[in-house]
């Protein structure tokens, strides 16, 4: 049987836990589920903006994680509008084909913003004047960021 003082103590602890879990900082932006796009079979028109590509050639980069990179962007407070991701591969298979061609397909993580921000440069991105997703861009995940 629980005594009155023990019940009061349990109630105080539970209340303090609930109050302590309240978010005090700004809530990060979110994204819709990615839309899979084909950027290789037909021309793709990117909306206007400022584009940054993650620098996969940087020797400090090891073990790129799409979900973690997207989360980092959303929590950074930057005004990101879109993100495209094409996974790297050792082969390329066009849609509807049963044959894959041996090829080194470079990964691309492309970010679009309405205006330039040097914070992305410090996060391992390079500004690019001509956005693109390179070769074998048949399966590209496009994240549209909610404002």
Residue 7: inside a domain: no
CA distance 89 to 80: 26
Give the span between the Cα atoms of 75 and 98, in whole angstroms.
Answer: 41
**What pLDDT does residue 4 have?**
52
At 61-103, the pLDDT tens digits run: 778 899 999 999 999 999 999 999 999 999 999 988 889 999 9
Domain membership of residue 13 (yes or no) is: no
- Which pLDDT belongs to residue 12? 43
Higher pLDDT, 27 or 97: 97
In a domain, 111, yes or no: yes
- How far apart CA 136 and CA 91 sit, in angstroms, is 9
Q: Looking at the domain assignment, is residue 4 inside a domain?
A: no
Domain residues for the domain of 55 are 26-144
| Percent share of the chain, pLDDT over 70 | 78
Q: Which residue shows structure tokens 């962007």?
A: 73
| 96 occurs within a structural domain | yes
Give a yes or no: residue 62 inside a domain.
Answer: yes
pLDDT of residue 2: 56
Q: How many domains does the chain have?
A: 1
Is residue 130 in some structural domain? yes
Question: Which residues, other chains included, contact 35 with Cβ-Cβ below 8 Å and sequence gap of 6+?
Answer: 141, 142, 144
76-89: buried (b, 16+ CB within 10 Å) or exposed (e) per residue? eebebbbbbbbeee
Residue 40 falls within a domain, yes or no? yes
Q: Are 84 and 46 in contact (CB under 8 A)?
A: no
Q: What is the predicted pLDDT for the residue at 146? A: 78
- Least Cα distance to 83 among 117, 136, 34 occurs for 34
Residue 37: its pLDDT value, please?
Answer: 95
């Amino acid at each position: 049987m629980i005594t009155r003082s023990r019940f009061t103590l349990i109630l105080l602890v539970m209340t303090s836990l609930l109050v302590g879990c309240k978010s005090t900082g700004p809530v990060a932006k979110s994204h819709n589920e990615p839309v899979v796009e084909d950027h290789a079979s037909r021309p793709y028109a990117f909306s206007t903006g400022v584009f940054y590509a993650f620098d996969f050639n940087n020797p400090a980069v090891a073990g790129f994680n799409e979900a973690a990179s997207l989360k980092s962007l959303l929590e950074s407070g930057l005004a990101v509008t879109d993100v495209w991701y094409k996974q790297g591969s050792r082969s390329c298979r066009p849609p509807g084909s049963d044959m894959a061609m041996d090829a080194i397909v470079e990964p691309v993580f492309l970010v679009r913003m309405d205006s330039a921000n040097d914070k992305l440069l410090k996060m391992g991105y390079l500004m690019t004047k001509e956005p693109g997703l390179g070769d074998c861009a048949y399966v590209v995940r496009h994240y549209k960021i909610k404002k």
